[in-house]
Amino acid sequence: MSCFTLPHLESSPKRVRVLFGGQYIVDTQDAKLVWVKPNYPNYFFKAEDLSDKFLVEAFRSWQHELYDVVVGGRRAEAAVTKYLEGDFNGLVSIEFGAVDAWFEEDEQIFVHPKDPYKRVDVLQSSRHIRIELNGQELANTTKPRLLFETGLQVRTYVPKTDCRMDLLAQSELTTACPYKGIANYCHVRLPDGTVSEDSVWWYRTPQLECAEIKGFLAFYDEKFDVWVDGVLQKRRSA
């Protein structure tokens, strides 16, 4: 995002709906995008945009009130915060993962709202990328795809056909990103017994804006030796 002073609040031009228990507990064209931390925003709403009929008070202090959301037999405990002072006085926030779905216009969003000041680009490259662990080559390609994401380091995605797939073992870990989709992970297991857990990831069905990384592998550079055009890169802190 831009270099705002935090916290930062601005109006969203999008219709935002929040679904829980088969009902839209919020349906507004006056949502607020709020950055409490610099990484990404959350949606806040005017108190009147969330009907009291869905709320049961759980906790109260002089700064805020917490509410359970109750719809029929469904309850999301302490999922709503109503602010009573400061920058957010009179606004409410809803824990993103506590409800069933969020929509911007008619498109469902996942994990958290996208930052309108962030962009993600995937570019085909012809750089020579070689990746090793303890002297064992894991990947060697001249067909990488580079993912540039505002505020984050560049990530290199390598075709599986240029990777030592026999040295990778499927992990149970998955993570989600609103820009890229759901990532599956692999462990690296070397013949000498070395194991690097959850250090390689890939997207089976990435989001449209990152479709070019589909099926390619990304290595957690901080855990490996990476050469770019023959030059060993300095490892960043993991």
In a domain, 101, yes or no: yes
What range defines the domain where residue 57 resides?
A: 8-109
**Is residue 121 within 8 Å of 106, Cβ to Cβ?**
no
pLDDT in tens, 204-236: 999 999 999 999 999 999 999 999 999 999 987
Q: Are residues 68 and 161 in the same domain?
A: no
Residue 237 falls within a domain, yes or no? no
- Give how far Cα 21 sits from Cα of 49, 182, 215, Å: 17, 24, 35
Tell me the CB-side half-sphere exposure of residue 67, using CA atoms within 13 A: 20
From CA 186, how far away is CA 165, in angstroms rounded? 10
* CA–CA separation, 62 and 123 (whole Å): 51
In this structure, the answer to whether residues 152 and 228 fall within a common structural domain is yes
Tens digits of per-residue pLDDT, 166-190?
Answer: 999 999 999 999 999 999 999 999 9
Q: How many domains does the chain have?
A: 2
Where is the domain boundary, 59, 90, 109? Answer: 109
Q: What is the structure's pLDDT at 235?
A: 84
Taking only the tens place, the pLDDT of each residue in 40-67 is 999 999 999 999 999 999 999 889 999 9
pLDDT tens for 131-172 read: 999 999 999 999 999 999 998 899 999 999 999 999 999 999
Q: Which whole number is the average pLDDT over 87-97?
A: 96
47 with 99, same domain: the answer is: yes
- Mean per-residue pLDDT for 25-46? 96
The CATH number of the domain holding residue 126 is 2.170.150.40
Q: Is residue 131 part of a domain?
A: yes
pLDDT at 39: 86
4 vs 179, more confident: 179
Together in a domain, 172 and 218: yes
> How many C-beta atoms surround the C-beta of residue 67 within 10 A?
23
Please report whether residue 207 resides in a domain.
Answer: yes
In angstroms, the CA 171 to CA 178 distance is 21
> Distances in Å between the alpha carbon of 202 and those of 9, 211, 219?
34, 12, 9
d(CA 78, CA 67): 5
Taking the model in full, what pTM does it have? 0.86
Q: How confident is the model at residue 83 (pLDDT cuts 50, 70, 90)?
A: very high
Q: Are residues 139 and 94 in the same domain?
A: no
1 has pLDDT over 60: no
Tell whether 129 and 228 lie within a shared domain. Answer: yes
Look at residue 152 and tell me if it is in a domain. yes
Residue with structure tokens 């994990």? 111
DSSP β-bridge partners for residue 101: 19
